Structure 1
Amino acid sequence: MSNEECERVRALLAEHSDGELAAAEAGLVEAHLRTCAGCREELEALRRSLALARQVWRESVAGLERLRAARRRRRAVVMSEEDIERAIRRESVAAQLMASTRILAAQPGGEAQAEKMVQYVSREYADTLAAKQKPLPTTRNEGEIQ
């Protein structure tokens, strides 16, 4: 085979391997490959390289997807600083309201209002520690504040 013909065929091998050549060009390349061992070796090397590149690509994509999934899981578990501050404020408000029920209950006639406040905190701040803990004594007899 002439070097010129081999160079022309080798320039088309990638497209031929991908099935992107027109029928006439593909026929010329195939005819040349039947008679030229050097170009056949070049085509096989190209196919091995492409197969390796595809494998690396698939593994890279799979690895990237695993990293993305781990990042999503981490975001779901780890609270942002803003979320933490919001939770602290919410816990603080609930604790202050529950503490104020004790003061309110110690006042003459304050037991009923204190009980309403305990119910409010239990309902509106149900996710807080203050709402989940046993309420402080709300009657003057149980734990009067001096």
Structure 2
Amino acid sequence: MIVDAEPGRPVRVMPRRLSSGRQLAHFTGTLDELRAMAPQFDGTFLKAVITGEEPDPLLGRTVAEIVPHAILVNAAPAREAHPGAVLDADPADEPELPDALRAYLAGRGMSGSAAEATVAAFAHLLTEIDDETPPPAPAEEMLQAALEHTWTEAS
């Protein structure tokens, strides 16, 4: 539909037949399977979930090379669930938060100076919130002052 609207004038609605567009496609499989099926994804918006691969920060580029005539909506490695993995992990083995963020960004295809700048900003924010004691509320301060300066009635 094309809608022509201006203040002070009746609205005109004109139906038009869609003569172009791109299909939306979803692919889940290995890079080899994608290579075999690549022609069917030409001209599509493609969301690719790649299975059975080691983490690769350049996965999006690899998928784009395999399917050069598709527009990539997202190319991501499949994340396989491991029941109990979180419960069985030793908390001492957990990475520090900046390292975990760095690994996450690498998994999403972000590395180099952009990733390091993001991690540095995150680390700075972490140091800003080290003091976990909130400031007292105004009512709390008034109550504390009243308790400290009690008065007694003259006898």
Shorter-chain-normalised TM-score: which range?
under 0.3
- Greater strand proportion: 2
Q: Radius of gyration: which is bigger?
A: 1
